Amino acid sequence: MKKTKATALTAAMLVAAANISACGSAKNVESENNVYAQGLDETVTETTTYDPESNTDLMYCVYGPPPTTEPPSSFEEYADATTTEYDPENDAEQFFPVYGPPPMPGDAYMDGVIDANDLARMRIDYNNGKNINDFDMNFYDVNNDGVFDLEDIAVLSRFLQGDIKSLSVPDEDDDDIVTTAPPTYEDTTYTTVATLYGPPPMYYDWSN
C-alpha cells in the first residue's frame, strides 16, 4: 500500500498523542518531537489553482480519505519543525494543526488563504463584538499580542496591501521594515476538496 506524506503525518500525530498519554504529563514531551505545534512556515497550504477548463483539481478517492492540505516536502522536516515548548496555558494551541486547518494568523475564514475575505470577516466580527475563543484566536490574533482588536485588523490590512511582507511577529531587535513590494501570498483560487464521503470544510462561519 502506498504510504504518503499525509499518512506519515497522521501516524506522527497519533504516536505523539500516545506518547503524551503514556507520559501522563505533556510537559515531558520533547519539543522537537512535538508534531502538533508548527510555525507558519511549515503549514501546509499548498493551494491548488482550480482550472475551470480542465477541472482537474477535484479527483479524490471514491470512498477515500480527504486530501488534507499538503504536508511539508519531507516528513523529517515536519517532525523536526521548530516548536515552542509545551505550555499548559496554551494547550489547545499545541494541538490544533492535527485536527484541522493549521493555525494561520489572518486566516479568519480558515480556508487556508489570507485574502480580503478574511479582512472583511474580522471587521464584521470586531464590529459585532464577537467573542473570539481560544481556538479562533489562532486565526484572529494577527499580531500575536493575545487579544483581538483593531491593531490586528490594521496589520492584516497592511499585509494585504503589500506594506509588510509577513504576518509573523518580528524579533524585538528587528527594525520595522516597510516595503512597497507586492504581497507575498499567492492569490490563487483555493479549492477545498472533499472525498466521496468525506468532510466538509469545517470552519466556515455561518453566523452571518
Positions touching another protein (CB under 8 A) are 1-4, 6-8, 10-11, 13-15, 17-18, 21, 50, 52, 55, 58-66, 68, 91-92, 95-96, 98-100, 133, 135, 191-204, 206-207
Return the ∠ at Cα 25 (arms to 39 and 42), rounded to 5°: 10
CB of 173 to another protein, least distance (A): 35
Closer Cβ to another protein, 110 or 167, answer by number:
110
CB of 6 to another protein, least distance (A): 8
Closer Cβ to another protein, 10 or 144, answer by number:
10
The residues near 113 (Cβ < 8 Å, ≥ 6 apart) are 45, 47, 107, 185, 186, 188, 190
Return the ∠ at Cα 147 (arms to 144 and 148), rounded to 5°: 95
Closer Cβ to another protein, 21 or 127, answer by number:
21
Give the number of other Cβ atoms within 10 Å of residue 52's Cβ: 7
| 33-50 burial code (b ≥16 CB/10 A, e <16) | ebbbbbeeebbbbebbee
CB of 193 to another protein, least distance (A): 8
CB of 36 to another protein, least distance (A): 9
Closer Cβ to another protein, 95 or 185, answer by number:
95
Closer Cβ to another protein, 133 or 168, answer by number:
133
Cα dihedral angle (160, 38, 76, 111), rounded to 10 degrees?
A: -50
CB of 85 to another protein, least distance (A): 17
